Each structure stands twice: as structure tokens, then as C-alpha cells.
Amino acid sequence: MKRFVLAITGASGAAYAKRLFDCLKGNAELHVVVSDRGVELLHLELGLKTSCFAGENVTLYKNTRVNTSIASGSFPLDGMVIVPASMGTIGRIAAGVSGTLIERAADVMLKEKRKLIVVPRETPFSTIHLKNLLALDQAGALILPASPGFYQGQKTMQDLIDFVVARILDQLGMPQDLLAPYQS
Ligand SMILES: Cc1cc2nc3c(=O)[nH]c(=O)nc-3n(C[C@H](O)[C@H](O)[C@H](O)COP(=O)(O)O)c2cc1C
């Protein structure tokens, strides 16, 4: 079973994280961390508490707990996804701050040359945002914006959420039937 970190921060788009969690649950070992502002957005946008991230092979951490397994490079991981990723968290990771568990776990993924998928959500981007995203890309992260396509008959909000989640699952090397490969 693959082992992933799912980090949820205080950008808009909690539905992407919840859908990704539901797709991975039961198919992977999951280590979930939600930032304080992520907790607020989860409630504001979906009416959910962090207790929704529960199940077999699921561990939920407080973002203040930096002394956990996922904060160490000695703990093997197949990937980490930050979804949605706030510009604040992106900036702190780009600066190597590592003050919270999310920041430290991301720092570890980069130093160990493991897969780190960052799903930013902001519009428009400032020069600072773009520089920080470039810094993460250059450090080895994959920047996968929450930018759903509309060219495969997407009609509902769920279709648009699934478009983004399907691309994340593809990048994690996990099977998905949310979105078929495009064929003209
Ligand atoms: C309703 C609401 C929506 C927000 N949406 C975004 C967003 O889409 N992108 C973003 O970068 N920040 C957004 N923010 C700001 C972040 O929540 C804020 O910068 C916070 O400090 C991020 O903390 P975190 O990175 O620890 O989660 C939003 C804030 C609120 C209250």
C-alpha cells in the first residue's frame, strides 16, 4: 500500500481535499494534516470538521506537532499533496521556514527528492506568489493549479472538482475513474 501525506491549508477549495481523501481512503496509507486556517475553510466551505478525515490506515495530526514520523526523512513516503495550498504556506515552504508540520513535511519531501504536489489557489497572482511557485518548482515540487478544464463535457461543480482530483491521482500513480484520458 502506498503511503501519502495529505496537507490541507487555508486557501479556498476544501472540496478538492475531501474528494481526494475519499478517493485515496482504503487504497493508501494516509497521513493528514490541516492548518488552523484550513480548519476554518473546511467548515466554511463544506460544513465539516477535521474528524471527517478518519478511517483505517488514516492518521490525523495537529499542524503544531512537528515531532512526528512524517517530519523525518527516515520515514518512507510515496508522496505529499498540499491541497488547497495557500500562498502563505507556499511562501513559507519556499523560504525554508519549516515552522509547522505541513511546512516541515514539505521541506523533507524536497530534501529527500520525493514527490511533492502543490495545488495553489489564488487569483490573481502577485509577483511574490509567482516567484515562490517558481522556487518550489525549481526545488523539485510539481505545481498543479486548481484549474479544471471544460473540454470533456464538464457541467457540474462535482465535474470540475473531479477534473483536478483526477490529475492529482494520476500524478500520484493511483488508479482513478473520475476522468478518462482525452480523445478527440
Ligand atoms: C474565506 C477565506 C478564503 C481564503 N482563500 C484563500 C485562497 O484561495 N488562497 C490563499 O492563498 N489564501 C486564502 N486565504 C488567506 C489564508 O487563509 C491566509 O493567508 C492564512 O494565513 C493561510 O494560512 P495557512 O497557510 O497556514 O493555512 C483565505 C482566507 C479566508 C478567510
Ligand 1 cavity residues, CB under 6 Å: 9-12, 35, 37-38, 44, 86-89, 121-122
Helix, strand, coil percent values for the chain (each to nearest 5):
40, 20, 40
pLDDT digits over 78-120, tens only?
999 999 999 999 999 999 999 999 999 999 999 999 999 999 9
Nearest Cα residue to atom 17 of ligand 1: 10
| Of 37, 42, 98, 122, best ligand 1 pocket probe by most atoms within 8 Å of the beta carbon | 37
Q: Is 114 exposed, middle or buried (0-12, 13-18, 19+ CB in 10 A)?
A: middle
Please check whether residue 182 lies inside any domain of the structure.
no
Residue 42: which region, alpha, beta or left (left: phi > 0; alpha: psi -120 to 50)? alpha
**pTM strictly above 0.85:** yes
CATH number where 87 lies: 3.40.50.1950
Question: What does the pLDDT read at residue 159?
Answer: 97
Task: For residue 110, report the distance from its CA to the centre of ligand 1, in Å.
Answer: 23
Domain that holds residue 44: 2-172
Query: Closest by alpha carbon to 166, among 9, 6, 19, 18?
Result: 19
Number of domains the chain is built from: 1
Please check whether residue 178 lies inside any domain of the structure.
no
Which spans in the chain are helix H?
A: 14-24, 36-46, 87-94, 101-111, 127-139, 157-172
**Mean pLDDT computed over every residue of the chain:** 97
Please check whether residue 177 lies inside any domain of the structure.
no
Query: Closest by alpha carbon to 71, among 113, 114, 100, 93?
Result: 100
Distance, in Å, from the CA atom of 116 to the CA atom of 142, rounded to the nearest integer, reads 6
